[in-house]
Copies of this chain bind each other. A is one copy, B any other.
Amino acid sequence: MDLAHVAPGLPTHSVERHWLTVELGARSYSIVIGNGLLGDPATWAGLPRAQTVAIVTNEVVAPLYLQPLRAALAPHYSRVLDIVLPDGEAHKDWPTLNRIFDALLEHACDRKTVLFALGGGVVGDMTGFAAACYQRGVPFVQVPTTLLAQVDSSVGGKTAINHPRGKNMIGAFYQPLRVVCDLDTLATLPPREYSAGLAEVIKYGPIYDLAFLDWIEAHIERLCARDADALAYAVRRSCEIKAAVVGQDERESGLRAILNFGHTFGHAIEAGLGYGQWLHGEAVGCGMVMAATLSQRLGRVSPTFVRRLTRLIAAAGLPTRAPRLGSDNAARYLALMRVDKKADAGAIRFVVVDEAGHAEVRAVPDAVVAEVIEACSLS
A residues with a Cβ closer than 8 A to B are 51, 94, 98, 101-102, 105-106, 108, 110-112, 132-137, 158, 160, 163, 165-166, 168-173, 251, 338-339, 341, 343-346
Contact = CB atoms under 8 A, between A and B. Distances in A.
Contacts of A102: 163, 165
A86 to B, nearest CB: 19
A111 B347 CA distance: 12
Contact of A108 (B168, B170, B343): B343
Contacts of A163: 101-102, 105
Given A94-B94, A105-B163, A136-B160, A344 B169 contact: no
Contact of A338 (B108, B111, B346): B108
A171 B343 contact: no
B132 A172 contact: yes
Contacts of A168: 136
Given A133-B171, A136-B158, 16 more contacts: A105-B165, A105-B166, A106-B165, A108-B343, A110-B341, A110-B344, A110-B346, A111-B344, A133-B133, A133-B172, A135-B341, A136-B168, A136-B171, A136-B172, A136-B251, A137-B173
B108 A346 contact: yes
Q: 3 tightest A-B contacts by CB? A: A105-B165, A51-B345, A135-B341
B341 A136 contact: yes
Chain multiplicity (copies): 2
A94 B105 contact: no
Nearest to A49: B345
Contacts of A251: 136-137
Contact of A345 (B98, B112, B338, B343): B112
Contact of A346 (B51, B94, B345): B51
A134 B165 contact: no
A139 to B, nearest CB: 13
A259 to B, nearest CB: 14
Nearest to A107: B339
Interface centre among A51, A136, A168, A171 (most CB of B within 10 A): A136
23 contacts: A51-B345, A51-B346, A94-B98, A101-B163, A102-B163, A105-B163, A108-B339, A108-B343, A110-B341, A110-B343, A110-B344, A110-B346, A111-B344, A112-B344, A112-B345, A133-B170, A134-B169, A136-B158, A136-B160, A136-B171, A136-B172, A137-B172, A172-B172
Contact of A101 (B51, B108, B110, B170): B170
Contacts of A108: 338-339, 343, 346
